[in-house]
Amino acid sequence: MSSLHLAILAPLVLSIFIPLFYRIFRLIHTGWFVLPIPIVLFVYFLTFLPETMRGRSLIEMINWIPSLGINFTAKVDGLGLLFALLITGIGALVVLYSIYYLAKNKEKLNHFYVYLLLFMGAMLGVVLSDNLIVMYGFWELTSFSSFLLIGYWYERDKSRYGAQKSMLITVFGGLAMLGGIILLYIMTGTFSVTELISQANAIFNNALFVPALVCILLGAFTKSAQFPFYIWLPDAMEAPTPVSAYLHSATMVKAGIYLVARFTPVFGEHFLWFWLVTSVGILTLVWGSIFAVKQSDLKAILAFSTVSQLGLIMSLLGAGAAALHYEFLDENIYTVAVTAAIFHLVNHATFKGSLFMAAGIIDHETGTRDIRKLGGLMHFMPITFTISIIGAFSMAGLPPFNGFLSKEMFFTAMVHVTEMDLFNLNTWGILFPMLAWIASIFTFVYSMILVFKTFTGKYQPDKLDKKPHEAPMGLLISPVILVSLVIIFGFFPNLLSDSLISPAMASILPSLLGAGEEFMVHISFWHGPNIELFMTLGVIILGIILFKTHAKWKKIYKAVPEKLALNRFYDFLIEGIQSVSYKVTNTYMNGSIRSYLVYIFTFFIVILAATLIGKNAFTFDTSNVSSIGVYEVALAILVVLASICILFAKSRMTSIILLGAVGYTVSLFYVLFRAPDLALTQLVIETISVALFLVCFYHLPKLRRFETRMRFRFTNALISVGVGVVVTLIALSAHSNKLFDSISQYYVENTYTEAAGKNMVNVILVDFRGFDTLFEITVLAIASLGIFGMIKLRLNRRKEG
């Protein structure tokens, strides 16, 4: 196994040992054992920078199911490395923050860090897997681990609700993505992303191309909280703040962004990809920014702002795909959208991560996140205020912070969209810069609300659960590092140009580069008095006006009926599904074992009989049947008579004895067929079964079916005869249709030479079918533990009672 595979699997493997550390080192916060993992991984992935900067990529493969084209292929290129560094770098800061945020004597830290490491490993698997099936496995693991993290405080109704909603929506998208992956495999015969990109032109006109495109985008839109699937993200804010800072600002919600970026070389030239990605992104941007202004909870504001910012990045990737229709130009006018998307991806992780951590600090030190109760905290929490104002100003797109630069590039990309002479953009393209500008105004407003409603204004101590004070240094380290990056990337943006942005662009738009070429990215503050600058000035002026008059116009939100909310539709849908399933289930789950057996055996008869008839599968060949002796006939008659007598037995004791007689008679067949070991096994099992039946049935009431006249049940008779006939026909057909030579001769020839055993049955069970036997023993062990647990639970209840 290569070091790259070990790096991906390290968080998953090490999560196994977290409960052990938690139990042994009770006096030490478990987070200190977890912190080295993301730090070491971050440093490890930094070593790949020289290679990706040269336009190279590293691929390592482990054979898994090569016959199906499924191998654990790990690939590090510019795009994968960018995300790997975000996952591990932000992960290290989040773990450090969580050490001081989660008290070791109040929280179940063993659960928290196991879930966190599972998520970290799953995200690394998603962004570094070149095989789509492996990627899908990790993709669903992110949904599962995020479900556990969001529902970490499971005793709260809102936590369970948010976890369930995120799981249902993202798993729905994941299944759609799996459908797209299968369609791509049908078209290309490969699960390799690298090979898919090389065959992109060949499958462009395939009838399955568009369905695959739509399915892949469903997976991306649900995971990255795009409209209308964004509704899970605000409810996911019930998770602890470290989870929100990690999952919902830097990692999980970026998985959909990664998917769109990774598949742009495959689908990007199709007009539907451009319109869906760009339109959904810009709609999500506008929708999220408008509804962020409505919120009064700090994390709710940040949740909707995350929805909005994800829409911004998504729209940039969609617009950037249009560059595939143009030859590469030195001015980069058609690739500026992709440059802006990657740059804002990094910027968003820095300023949004710091803002989430600041919101957590405010909640931690005041006992509330409600901005209606907050105010005047600037004097009590000056460092947190500084962190918040830098992060919020960057999110609002104000200079000199990094968010200003990527926002200006966003405006530039949207303006250039109107200049493209494809996809009818000369007609509809004007909508993109207009919507981008409107969304930016509301982004400015909610950024100002976030800071000034919290830290300025009237101090309201009577509404706070705690007396506010500055957070301890441990809580401040991580957000301070993030806002420092906000400033550094603002003043020195080209630190990222050659190291991360250019290699990532080469992964997204590889067809625009010739051999040995690379994208020349240069980011600067001043480009003269252009249209983007005037758009920014308009955002600031109108944003200040709307912020100052917020109290007067915010009532407009009440004009929208709550019944039309997407959350109401989701709740109605879930409740409807539950109601229908409850009614349907009650029609057949009536508590009668006889009814259940009728359903099972009827289905058995219909399906198998239909298969035999439809496939013309029944044959009867007696050419290889050995002669039947008088003893076999006698024993068969005895078995049939004993079975019939069971139906007419008047006591359970008689029924058990007759059932035992059937089993003992079958064991005599093994004696006649010269299988004494099987006969002995059958005798032992029958003896134990009869004894156990006698012990258990002794405590049951007497049979009452003979107190009244027995009625003939035609349904029972028909199903019984049907099952017997179908099984007999299948047995005869199976015996008559031997497509392969019997494997018995193989065992005869190899039992002694290969396994050094003379008892063929024992060797088959222990050696040739050893795993089968092991799993059977495992099942029995699990069942035994379950029985033991139930017995202990019953004894404990008796003691308590």
Whether 241 shows a pLDDT value over 50: the answer reads yes
d(CA 362, CA 384): 8
Residue 701 pLDDT class (50, 70, 90 cuts): confident
Residue 331 pLDDT class (50, 70, 90 cuts): very low
Report the mean per-residue pLDDT for the chain. Answer: 89
Whether 365 shows a pLDDT value over 80: the answer reads yes
Q: Which two tokens stand for residue 107?
A: 């929280």
314 contact partners, CB below 8 Å, separation of at least 6: 224, 226, 256, 257, 260, 277, 278, 280, 281, 284
pLDDT score recorded for residue 296: 92
d(CA 397, CA 606): 67
Instruction: Identify which has the larger pLDDT, 696 or 539.
Output: 539
Whether 334 shows a pLDDT value over 90: the answer reads no
- Residue 16, SS3 per DSSP: helix
Average confidence (pLDDT) over 698-713:
64
Is 352 within 8 Å of 302 (Cβ atoms)? yes
Residues 354, 360, 365: CA angle, nearest 5 degrees? 125
Residue 637 pLDDT class (50, 70, 90 cuts): very high
208 contact partners, CB below 8 Å, separation of at least 6: 183, 186, 187
Q: Which two tokens stand for residue 415?
A: 């303006």
d(CA 49, CA 57): 10
Whether 326 shows a pLDDT value over 70: the answer reads no
409 contact partners, CB below 8 Å, separation of at least 6: 336, 339, 340, 343, 344, 523
61: left (phi over 0), alpha (psi -120 to 50) or beta: beta
**Taking the CA atoms of the chain, what radius of gyration do you get in angstroms?**
34
Whether 332 shows a pLDDT value over 60: the answer reads no
pLDDT score recorded for residue 697: 77
d(CA 320, CA 314): 10
pLDDT in tens, 21-32: 998 888 899 999
d(CA 639, CA 644): 9
Percentage of residues in the chain with pLDDT exceeding 90? 60
d(CA 437, CA 586): 54
Length of the chain: 801
Whether 330 shows a pLDDT value over 70: the answer reads no
Residues 631, 637, 640: CA angle, nearest 5 degrees? 140
Nearest to residue 249, comparing CAs of 189, 306, 311? 306
Residue 328 pLDDT class (50, 70, 90 cuts): very low
Nearest to residue 500, comparing CAs of 49, 12, 41? 49
Whether 421 shows a pLDDT value over 80: the answer reads no
Instruction: Identify which has the larger pLDDT, 65 or 761.
Output: 65
Instruction: Identify which has the larger pLDDT, 524 or 307.
Output: 307
Exposure b/e, 705-728, CB count within 10 A at least 16 = b:
eeeeeeeeeeeeeebeebbeebee
For residue 482, give the amino acid letter.
L
Residue 295 φ then ψ, to 5°? -75, 155
pLDDT score recorded for residue 517: 78
Nearest to residue 242, comparing CAs of 29, 94, 36? 94
Return the residue matching tokens 């000369």.
426
Instruction: Identify which has the larger pLDDT, 428 or 172.
Output: 172
Q: Give DSSP secondary structure letters for 405-434.
A: HHHHHHHHHHHHHTT--STTHHHHTTHHHH
Half-sphere exposure of 156 (CA within 13 A, CB side): 14
Whether 769 shows a pLDDT value over 90: the answer reads no
Whether 433 shows a pLDDT value over 90: the answer reads yes
Is 369 within 8 Å of 298 (Cβ atoms)? yes
Whether 631 shows a pLDDT value over 70: the answer reads yes
Residues 15, 16, 21: CA angle, nearest 5 degrees? 85
DSSP character at residue 253? G
pLDDT score recorded for residue 324: 81
Exposure b/e, 436-457, CB count within 10 A at least 16 = b:
bbbbbbbbbbbbbbbbbbbbee
Residue 484 pLDDT class (50, 70, 90 cuts): very high
Whether 349 shows a pLDDT value over 70: the answer reads yes
Whether 713 shows a pLDDT value over 80: the answer reads no
771 contact partners, CB below 8 Å, separation of at least 6: none
**What is the rounded (10 degree) CA torsion for 692, 696, 701, 705?**
-40
pLDDT score recorded for residue 346: 95
Q: Give DSSP secondary structure letters for 603-651.
A: HHHHHHHHHHHHTT------TTPPPPPHHHHHHHHHHHHHHHHHHH-SS
For residue 553, give the amino acid letter.
W
d(CA 117, CA 98): 13
Residues 585, 586, 592: CA angle, nearest 5 degrees? 105
How distant is the alpha carbon of residue 392 from its chain centre?
30
Nearest to residue 389, comparing CAs of 337, 452, 320, 435? 452
All structural domains of the chain with their residue ranges: 268-506+514-548, 593-744, 745-801
Whether 709 shows a pLDDT value over 60: the answer reads no
DSSP character at residue 765? I
Residue 737 pLDDT class (50, 70, 90 cuts): confident
d(CA 101, CA 71): 40
Whether 703 shows a pLDDT value over 80: the answer reads no
Residue 798 pLDDT class (50, 70, 90 cuts): low
**Widest pairwise Cα distance in the chain:** 108
Whether 792 shows a pLDDT value over 50: the answer reads yes
Average confidence (pLDDT) over 195-224:
95
pLDDT score recorded for residue 327: 55
391 contact partners, CB below 8 Å, separation of at least 6: 351, 352, 354, 355, 358, 479, 482, 483, 486
Is 375 within 8 Å of 456 (Cβ atoms)? yes
Q: Which two tokens stand for residue 65?
A: 């199911």
Q: Is the peptide bond before 228 cis (omega within 30 degrees of 0)?
A: yes
Q: Which of 477-481, 589-593, 729-733 has the highest mean pLDDT?
A: 477-481
State the pTM of this model: 0.83
Return the residue matching tokens 């795909």.
321
Q: What are the residues facing 131 on neighbouring strands?
A: 192
Q: Which two tokens stand for residue 482?
A: 């993030």
- Residue 75, SS3 per DSSP: strand
pLDDT in tens, 67-123: 888 999 999 999 999 999 999 999 999 999 999 999 887 888 999 999 999 999 999
pLDDT score recorded for residue 708: 52
**What is the rounded (10 degree) CA torsion for 715, 716, 719, 720?**
-150
pLDDT score recorded for residue 735: 80
pLDDT in tens, 538-592: 999 999 999 999 988 988 888 877 777 888 899 999 999 999 999 988 888 888 8
d(CA 279, CA 316): 10
324 contact partners, CB below 8 Å, separation of at least 6: 264, 265, 268, 269, 509, 511, 512
d(CA 324, CA 303): 33
Nearest to residue 341, comparing CAs of 432, 260, 252, 283? 260
For residue 455, give the amino acid letter.
F
DSSP character at residue 560? S
Residue 420 pLDDT class (50, 70, 90 cuts): confident
DSSP character at residue 710? -
Q: What are the residues facing 297 on neighbouring strands?
A: 370
Nearest to residue 331, comparing CAs of 419, 400, 260? 419
- Residue 74, SS3 per DSSP: strand
pLDDT score recorded for residue 165: 95
Q: 239-248, 324-333, 540-549: which range is least confident on average?
A: 324-333
d(CA 413, CA 436): 10
Average confidence (pLDDT) over 304-322:
94
Percentage of residues in the chain with pLDDT exceeding 70? 96
Instruction: Identify which has the larger pLDDT, 761 or 194.
Output: 194
Residue 430 pLDDT class (50, 70, 90 cuts): confident
pLDDT score recorded for residue 797: 64
Residue 800 pLDDT class (50, 70, 90 cuts): low
Is 148 within 8 Å of 168 (Cβ atoms)? no
d(CA 734, CA 742): 12
Whether 705 shows a pLDDT value over 70: the answer reads no
pLDDT score recorded for residue 592: 82
